[in-house]
Amino acid sequence: MIEPQAIWQTLDFVKQALWRHRTLAIGTTFCLLGLTTIGVLMLPKSYLSEAKLFVRFGRENQLDPTASTGQAISINETRESEINSLQEILRSRAMLDRVVSELGPQYILEGKDLGPEVKVTTVGNDRSTTRSEGNEYTSQETSEGTPSRAHQLAVQKLEKDLEIFSPRKTTIIAVRAKAKNPEIAQRIVSKLVETYLDEHVRVHRTPGSFEFFESQTNSFQDQWKLAANDLQKFKTTMGIVTIDGKRTQLQLQISDLEQRLLAAESEVTSSEARIVSLKSAIRLLPEFIASQKVQQPSVAMEGMKQTLFQLQSREQELRSKMTPNHPMVIAVQHQMEDLQQILGEHDVNSVQQTHVINPARQTLELDLLKEQSQVDSLAGRIASLKSQQAAFYVALGELNTDEVKLANLQRDMDLAENRYRSYSEKLEQARINRSLDEERISSLSIFQPATYAIQPQGPRKLMIIALGGFVAIGGGLILALAMAWFNPVLLSAELIQRQLQLPVLGTVAMH
């Protein structure tokens, strides 16, 4: 803990040091204050120009067409990070190089407008120089890719004189530049903002995206047309509108054939059963039956009567010529007697019975023939139906195979169509982006162009002089204390006694 006596001793030491070296302290203070005032008066004036950019949510914040060709990944980018990125681009060395190249290093360093910087390219022993019209200043020649010394100095000066910041919790970027001339400051800020707008559009643009999507769109359009033509030809060749419709038609035809086949087989079974029954019935019936009995003269008796008549005529004739005992007459008589005996023993009339085909059997036989014909007809129909059924099953198998081919063709066409539509949308997006880039339409807006400062912004002379005064007073005090510390003088008996730790016997006054 510091004792009060030590504090008072220190205060006495300061007071005595200031009083002893008051002339040196006052002189040093006035000297420093004078030098500060002269320096302030000799400082050049500086003018400040400021421009402000408003950053809104625009198309640059959305996915580029080339960034979404595969699976899209959500990227949550905060507005603060976006503003920081824009500020970093503004502060980049590339931006400052472009500003220096377009305004010229001498304009930045000395305020002399000599036009854009001359670019000297050295290739081997040959040199090629590019100079804009009216440019009379040639920077230090360097090899290709190495900036000149003047260019580097101008960039360093810009880095010191430029101030880029964003007010807290805003989407505004402020760009400030100091220069010894208000026109120079305004032009630097304007050129930086103009260059930055071009660079902003270029940074957010994917080179060659429009040409890429255009070629891909045309390629997939051709693939789509080719796949559609192949699908159409296949459908036309196979006679297919839709696979489901064709399959339904075949299934209906197969179902109808199966029903007809079952009906025919059922009829065949029924007919065969009827044939067996008819054959059994026919075997039980006689082939012919008696229809009626007819009584009519017997042909044999009539013949015998005719013969008897002829014999009688012969007997009369012989008797007229011969005697009754003649052998010929006797022979004729014997014949006549035999015939008369036969005719006496038999009836002259005969009963004749007629037979006809059994009509019941005939009807059954006709039915049998009909059933056999029906069976033959049904057998032919069944064979035809089975042949058609086999053909339909073959057609169904071919349809299943065609379905796979059709599905492959349909898939190829759908895939080509989806790719074509996707790339068409991306092509349109790329076309819109290119048109917006050509018109320099972006998410940045200049709501405050570079200002023209009439009043200088620096140096703040009164503040510098006031600070210089404080420094001068402090310098005088420090100098006085330093002199007293390094050159101590004992002015009182108490100081002598305390410093030497010896008793003081007396004091002598000096005049």
The pLDDT tens digits along the chain (511 residues) read 556 766 776 777 777 777 777 888 788 888 888 888 887 767 677 888 999 988 876 555 554 555 555 544 444 457 788 888 888 888 898 889 999 999 999 988 888 888 787 655 544 444 454 444 334 344 444 445 578 889 999 999 989 989 999 888 888 899 999 888 889 989 999 999 988 888 877 776 667 777 888 888 888 888 888 988 888 888 788 777 777 777 788 888 888 988 988 998 888 888 888 888 888 888 887 777 766 655 556 667 777 778 877 878 877 877 777 777 877 778 878 788 877 777 777 665 555 566 677 788 788 888 888 888 888 888 888 999 889 888 888 888 887 888 888 888 888 888 988 988 888 888 887 787 777 666 666 778 888 898 888 877 766 667 777 888 888 888 878 887 787 777 666 556 666 666 566 666 666 655 4
Query: How far apart are alpha carbons 118 and 136 in whole angstroms?
Result: 9
| Strand ranges for 298-448 from DSSP E | 349-357, 444-448
DSSP symbols for 96-159: HHHHHHHH-HHHHHT-----SPPEEEEETTEEEEE--TT----PPP--TT---HHHHHHHHHHH
**Residue finishing a domain among 337, 357, 377:** 357
**Residue finishing a domain among 336, 357, 378:** 357
Q: What pLDDT is attached to residue 410?
A: 85
Q: What pLDDT is attached to residue 511?
A: 46
DSSP state of 168: T
Q: What pLDDT is attached to residue 58?
A: 58
Strand order from edge to edge, sheet including 172-179: 162-165, 172-179, 47-55, 444-448
Tell me whether residue 436 is in a domain. no
Q: How far is CA 326 from CA 310, 316, 337, 338, 340, in A?
A: 18, 13, 16, 19, 21
Find the domain containing 23 and state its range. Answer: 1-43+470-511
CA 207 to chain centre: 21
Q: What pLDDT is attached to residue 113?
A: 80
Q: What pLDDT is attached to residue 295?
A: 58
On whether the CB atoms of residues 88 and 203 are closer than 8 A, the answer is no
Quote the tokens at residue 271: 């007919």
Q: What pLDDT is attached to residue 174?
A: 92
At 492, give phi and psi (nearest 5°).
Answer: -140, 160
On whether the CB atoms of residues 52 and 174 are closer than 8 A, the answer is yes
Tell me whether residue 176 is in a domain. no
Let me know if 207 is exposed, middle or buried by CB neighbors in 10 A (0-12, 13-18, 19+): exposed
On whether the CB atoms of residues 50 and 189 are closer than 8 A, the answer is yes
Tell me whether residue 23 is in a domain. yes
* pTM for this prediction: 0.49
Number of domains in the chain: 2
**Residue finishing a domain among 357, 374, 394:** 357
Query: How far apart are alpha carbons 275 and 364 in whole angstroms?
Result: 10
Tell me whether residue 497 is in a domain. yes
Tell me whether residue 219 is in a domain. no
Tell me whether residue 138 is in a domain. no
Q: How far is CA 118 from CA 123, 139, 140, 158, 495, in A?
A: 16, 6, 9, 19, 76
Give the angle 431-434-436 at the CA atoms, nearest 5°. 110
Give the ranges where 182-239 is alpha helix by DSSP (H).
Answer: 182-203, 209-238
Tell me whether residue 294 is in a domain. yes
Looking at residue 303, its amino acid is: G
Tell me whether residue 302 is in a domain. yes
Give yes or no for a cis peptide into 459 (omega within 30° of 0): yes
